[in-house]
């Protein structure tokens, strides 16, 4: 019998003019982008926390302190790849990811496929194991007023033996 574990992630970043809007590693054309120490990819951060959380490995700030100049303007897919490699090493495989981005505008659905493909490639998963959804906040609160964006994510891991696995040695999901 396999052991399954679930992790939850959440993140929020302020919107500002002149910043890029990077979601799941994809730059979406927008007047406003996300502010933060790294590239502020709110979706990648929520998924990274969900992967780490499923294996009780703490959170993104523990692994990548935002006081460390090394991570300034960093591509957040680096964090996500690190979380994947960490859980693989402990004998886990990622089964699936489901996430929601809450952003008033721009409309994101045209970018869904590109974002899913990029996240799937980063996590070494088939795209059908990665779900990304979009919501507005109906003009209510900081997200609804266009001052910030939020993301939520949930991830399931399957434990396959004791590991340590790397991509090339990991057994397939059962
Ligand atoms: O927030 P609301 O329920 O009105 O969103 C309706 C739909 O609009 C969502 O299911 C999603 O497909 C799309 N949407 C989007 N980009 C956003 C917010 C919502 O494509 N920034
Ligand atoms: Mg963040």
Determine, yes or no, domain membership for 167. no
In the chain, the number of structural domains is 1
Domain with 23, as residue range(s), is 4-159
Ligand 1 mean position to 136 CA, how many Å?
6
Determine, yes or no, domain membership for 174. no
Q: Quote the pLDDT of residue 1.
A: 66
Residue nearest to atom 7 of ligand 1 (CA): 135
| 109 pocket-lining for ligand 1 (C-beta < 6 Å) | yes
Determine, yes or no, domain membership for 96. yes
Residue nearest to atom 4 of ligand 1 (CA): 136
The angle formed by the CA atoms of residues 116, 121 and 14, to the nearest 5 degrees, is 55
Residue nearest to atom 3 of ligand 1 (CA): 135
Q: Quote the pLDDT of residue 22.
A: 98
Determine, yes or no, domain membership for 169. no
Ligand 1 mean position to 104 CA, how many Å?
8
Q: What is the bridge-based pairing of β-strands 130-135 and 92-102?
A: parallel
Mean pLDDT by 10 residues, the chain (174 residues): 93 97 98 95 98 98 89 92 96 98 98 98 98 98 98 98 89 88
Determine, yes or no, domain membership for 172. no
DSSP 17-67: ETS-EEETTEEEP-SEEE-SSS---HHHHHHHHHHHHHTT---HHHHS-TT
Residue nearest to atom 6 of ligand 1 (CA): 135
CA–CA separation, 96 vs 131, rounded Å? Answer: 8
Ligand 1 mean position to 117 CA, how many Å?
19
**Which residue from 85, 79, 49, 56 is spatially nearest to 163, judged by alpha carbons?**
85
Determine, yes or no, domain membership for 56. yes
Q: What is the residue-averaged pLDDT of the chain? A: 96
Q: Encode pLDDT of 72-91 as tens digits.
A: 888 999 999 999 999 999 99
Determine, yes or no, domain membership for 171. no
CATH code for the domain of 146: 3.30.1330.50
């Amino acid at each position: 019998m396999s052991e399954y574990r679930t992790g939850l992630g959440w993140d929020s970043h302020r919107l500002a003019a002149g910043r890029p809007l990077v979601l799941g590693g994809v730059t979406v054309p927008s007047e406003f982008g996300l502010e933060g120490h790294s590239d502020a990819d709110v979706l990648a951060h929520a998924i990274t926390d969900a992967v780490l959380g499923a294996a009780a490995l703490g959170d993104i700030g523990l692994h990548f302190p935002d006081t460390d100049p090394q991570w300034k303007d960093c591509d957040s897919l680096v964090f996500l790849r690190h979380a994947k490699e960490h859980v693989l090493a402990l004998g886990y495989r990622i089964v699936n990811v489901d996430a929601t981005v809450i952003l008033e505008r721009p409309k994101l659905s045209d970018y869904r496929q590109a974002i899913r493909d990029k996240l799937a490639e980063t996590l070494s998963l088939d795209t059908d194991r990665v779900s990304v959804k979009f919501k507005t906040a109906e003009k209510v609160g900081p997200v609804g007023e266009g001052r910030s964006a939020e993301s939520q994510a949930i991830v399931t891991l399957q434990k396959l033996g004791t590991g340590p696995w790397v991509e090339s040695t990991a057994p397939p999901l059962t």
